[in-house]
């Protein structure tokens, strides 16, 4: 089954979460934290992405980023994580668990901060759905041509 393309809305904040592989510490010391932040700042500037918030956990990173083009989010995050894995002397496949997850966030929620809306963002990012009021979700649907309204669960009736 083919994977769904990421939803990227230029000029809109996006919540990004990427976890380390189980049993692999992502950051060993303050030097690792500083190196990751420096790489993120450099790659974000290079690929036209604004860094709103960066929360670095022991086994994951949570970011709130605003890309200026459709490709810039994937390029900035992907290159940051590839270079950070090289800094740790590991391959990207040995450090990071799969692809990073992301979802667009309505401007009203993006200004609230990660701590206040973390549970909502985690659920939405795992499903790849936008987070916000119905007007924001309608805007994302019209820009992407995809439907994000939850549908009835289960098999379709055979009639």
What pLDDT was estimated at residue 91?
66
Residues in a beta bridge with 66: 50
pTM of the full structure: 0.88
The answer on pLDDT for 114 being more than 80 is no
- Residue linked to tokens 């500037």: 45
Instruction: Using the structure block, give the residue that is written with the tokens 């010391």.
Output: 29
pLDDT digits (tens, 9 = 90+) for 75-111: 999 999 999 999 988 766 788 988 899 999 998 887 7
Within a 13 Å sphere around the CA of 140, how many CA atoms are in the beta-carbon half?
26
Is the pLDDT score of 2 beyond 70?
no
Tens of pLDDT, residue by residue over 49-62, are 999 988 898 889 99
* Calpha distance 8→147 (Å, rounded): 14
Top pLDDT among 130 and 149 is at 130
């Amino acid at each position: 089954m083919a994977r769904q393309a990421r939803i990227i809305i230029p000029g809109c904040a996006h919540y990004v979460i990427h976890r380390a592989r189980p049993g692999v510490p992502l950051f060993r010391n303050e030097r690792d934290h500083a190196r990751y932040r420096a790489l993120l700042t450099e790659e974000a500037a290079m690929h036209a992405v604004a860094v709103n918030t960066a929360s670095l956990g022991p086994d994951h990173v949570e970011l709130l980023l605003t890309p200026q083009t459709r490709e810039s989010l994937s390029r900035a995050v992907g290159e940051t994580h590839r270079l950070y894995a090289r800094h740790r002397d590991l391959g990207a496949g040995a450090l990071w668990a799969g692809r990073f997850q992301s979802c667009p966030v309505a401007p009203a929620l993006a200004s609230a901060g990660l701590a206040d809306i973390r549970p909502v963002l985690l659920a939405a990012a795992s499903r790849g759905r936008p987070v916000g009021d119905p007007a924001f979700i309608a805007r994302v649907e019209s820009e992407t041509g995809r439907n994000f309204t939850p549908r009835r669960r289960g098999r379709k009736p055979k009639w």
